[in-house]
A and B are shown apart, each in its own frame.
Chain A
Amino acid sequence: MTGFSRRRFIAGAAGASAAIGMPQIAYGQAAARVVVIGGGFGGATTARFLKKASPQLNVTLVEPNRRFVTCPYSNLVIGGWRKLDQISFGYDRLAKAGIAVVHDTAAAIEHDRKRVRLAGGRMLPYDRLIVSPGIDLRWGAIAGYDEKAASLMPHAWKAGEQTLLLRRQLESMPDGGLFVMAAPANPFRCPPGPYERISMVASYLKQSKPRSKVLVLDAKENFSKQPLFQDAWAKLYPGMIEWVPVGKDGKVVKVDPKAKTVETEFGQVHKAAVANVIPPQFAGKIARDSGLADQSGWCPIDPTSFESRLVKGIHVVGDATIAAPMPKSGFAANSQGKVAAAAAVAMLQGKALGPIGMVNTCYSHVGKDYAISVANVFRVVPDRGLIEVPDSGGTSPRQWEDENRRLESVYADGWYASITGEMFG
């Protein structure tokens, strides 16, 4: 019996039958144990789908926070469109679904012994492990921008207190003030996110502080859905937003949080009334500390299963992975989590998963009754790996009736309700 244990084998087989709607077969043996680190988009989805595929599987979810605040729609909180508690979710329904939810932090993964050590001291043995810790910010990558600086110049790139801080700063900003955003180079969490945020900030300022200006200093030459965003800005917020690409000295290299100044590569200093600094990022600490990340700071995976290419028996999903051309989005993490769950169940059974397909759609609100989107369908092709299906997907058209922009804003809300319902409902 080398290579697989009795409990893995049996739970896996029963799991596969459950996944495709066959009656359950109970054997009365101890169930296989799957531990999931991180209760966000990737982790909560994976835990739900593991349990769905194989109800007798022993699924433990480790997440320090009792309430998860979604980054999606946090830009709407910054714009004053939603309240934070409308985008916050508890884990009760996961527990009701039979998932053991442990509110603690994974301190170390001992992969040679197949167990996770929690900060509180507990050990969680596993047969397979799923890791979805999201991102960490690279403190110091921009000179002067560390954790302390973030309390004066919020990043708001992890939702919660930072989101509220940026909102409060906007509310107390004088009319005629300058809002400055430093946007990062690729790859980073949520490619259209900074520009949705700019739209939300402009919508608030236009209404409440119309003499104010918005300056985006960008470390890249172009950005996601750029023509659609810029068309919307010209139409809805004419003259308010200036976007500076890296080639025009847009890259912020240094900040002074007390003076509220940001400095670019070629030495221009901009004084802000409110500064939103989104620094470069890498995979969450637990992934980097456990040998799951390579020198880039992100985690290489096999896209057919999202198993780590560096450590067998561990799947990594979500923002922490290298999964281009998939973006680092909540929808992508959700789609990846479903693949990882199915793959983990199949592997417990000693089988491989067949060809898989994944989807991503990122909606961005740019103004009232006006949203835009980018949609993609992905699959894994032998020899070529993870690809976007040719001639599919793409962005909303540039020339379009207002009614379609309005419909996309309605569908964006529908998407948000669906995906959060699937995780937490």
Chain B
Amino acid sequence: MKIHIIVAGIVALAVAPASAQTADVSILASTCSGCHGANADGSGGIPGLKGQQQAYIADQLKAFKGGSRPATVMNRLAKGYTDEEIAGLALHFSRLK
């Protein structure tokens, strides 16, 4: 019995992708929904992110970060993320359906 249990566990681990990077982005992305909506489809004037072009999202976040796109709050928030994290976030939201 115990042997079966252990085998089942190893199989389960093997099919769960081990990339820590992917998991991190999913946590980072989950913090955006506090404003952009639980499904990232926008809320009361705050734009939706769901399904926007990956390159568009990444460019906007970089423009907020660098100051070339004026904003009320995204400029302050975007400065908290590295370019790799921005790339990961852009991919995440572009893939949401």
List chain A positions with a Cβ less than 8 A from chain B.
1, 6, 9-10, 13-14, 16-17, 19-20, 22, 25, 27, 49, 331, 334-335, 338-339, 342, 349, 353-359, 361, 373, 375-377, 379, 389, 391-394, 396, 404, 407-408, 410-411, 413-415, 417-419, 421-422, 425
B30 contacts partner chain A, Cβ-Cβ < 8 Å: yes
A418 and B36 contact, Cβ closer than 8 Å, known pairs A1-B5, A16-B23, A49-B30:
yes
Asked if B31 and A338 sit within 8 Å, CB to CB, the answer is yes
CA distance A422 to B30 in the complex (A): 10
Within residues 14 to 49 of chain B, which ones have a CB less than 8 A from any CB in chain A?
Answer: 15-17, 20-24, 26-28, 30-38, 42-46
Question: What is the CA–CA distance of A353 and B20 in the complex, to the nearest angstrom?
Answer: 8
Tell me which residues across on chain A come within 8 A of B76, comparing CB atoms. 375, 392-394
Choose one: B16, B21, B79, B85; the contact of A393 (CB below 8 Å): B79
Residues of chain A contacted by B73 (CB below 8 angstroms) = 361, 373, 375, 396, 408, 411
B62-86 with Cβ < 8 A to chain A: 72-73, 76-77, 79-81, 85
State the CA gap A63–B12 with chains docked (Å): 34
B40 — nearest CB in chain A belongs to which residue? Answer: A418
A325 CB to nearest chain B CB (Å): 13
Contact of A356 among B5, B17, B24, B45 (CB under 8 A): B24
Q: Shortest 5 CB-CB distances between A and B: which pairs?
A: A377-B80, A414-B44, A13-B12, A354-B20, A392-B80
Residues from chain B with a CB closer than 8 A to the CB of A354 are: 20-21, 23-24
Inter-chain contact A415/B35, CB cutoff 8 Å: yes
Known contacts A13-B16, A338-B27, A361-B35; decide if A417 and B77 are in contact (CB<8 Å): no
Contact call B20/A358, Cβ cutoff below 8 A? no
Q: How far is the CB of A249 from chain B (nearest CB, A)?
A: 36
Is A377's CB under 8 angstroms from B77's CB?
yes
Contact A410 B45 (CB under 8 A): yes
7 contacts between A and B (CB under 8 A): A13-B9, A25-B12, A342-B27, A349-B16, A357-B27, A376-B80, A414-B35
What is the bound-complex CA distance between A425 and B21, given in angstroms?
29
A74 to B23: give the CA distance in the assembly, Å.
35
Q: Contacts of A25 on B, CB cut-off 8 Å?
A: 12, 15
Interface contacts (Cβ under 8 Å), in number, total: 147
Residues of B within 8 A of A419 (CB): 34-35
B22 touches A20 (CB 8 A): yes
Q: Which residue of A lies closest to B65 (CB)?
A: A392
Contacts of B27 in A (CB 8 A): 338-339, 342, 353, 356-357
Instruction: Tell me if A414 and B16 are in contact (CB < 8 A).
Output: no
User: Pick the contact of A418 from B17, B20, B30, B35 — CB < 8 Å?
Assistant: B35
Residues from chain A with a CB closer than 8 A to the CB of B79 are: 377, 389, 391-393
User: Which chain B residue shows the least CB distance to A376?
Assistant: B80
B residues in contact with A415, CB < 8 Å: 34-35, 43, 46
Chain A residue at minimal CB-CB distance from B74 = A375
Known: A1-B2, A422-B38, A425-B38. A358 touches B31 (CB 8 A): yes
Task: Please measure, in the bound complex, the distance between the C-alpha atom of A27 and the C-alpha atom of B32, giving whole angstroms.
Answer: 33
Chain B residues within 8 Å of A19, by CB: 23, 26
Shortest Cβ distance from A412 into B: residue: B44
* Set of chain A residues within 8 Å of B80, measured between Cβ atoms: 357, 359, 376-377, 379, 389, 392-393
Q: How far apart are B19's CB and chain A's nearest CB, in angstroms?
A: 8
Assuming the contacts A377-B81, A393-B80, A394-B76, asked whether A418 and B37 have C-beta atoms less than 8 A apart, the reply is yes
- Minimum C-beta distance from A76 to chain B (A): 14
In the bound assembly, the distance between CA atoms of A394 and B72 in angstroms comes to 11
- Which B residues are CB-close (under 8 A) to A16? 16, 23
How far is B73's CA from A404's CA once the two chains are assembled, in angstroms?
10
Given A357-B28, A377-B77, A414-B45; A14-B12 close (CB under 8 Å) = yes
In the complex, what distance in Å separates the CA atom of A141 from the CA atom of B24?
42
Q: Are B12 and A393 touching (Cβ within 8 A)?
A: no
CB closest residue in chain B, given A396: B72
Other A-B pairs, 4, CB within 8 Å; known A9-B12, A414-B44, A418-B46: A357-B27, A377-B80, A393-B77, A414-B45
B95 to A, closest residue via Cβ: A21
Cβ of B17: which chain A residues have Cβ within 8 Å of it? 17, 20, 22
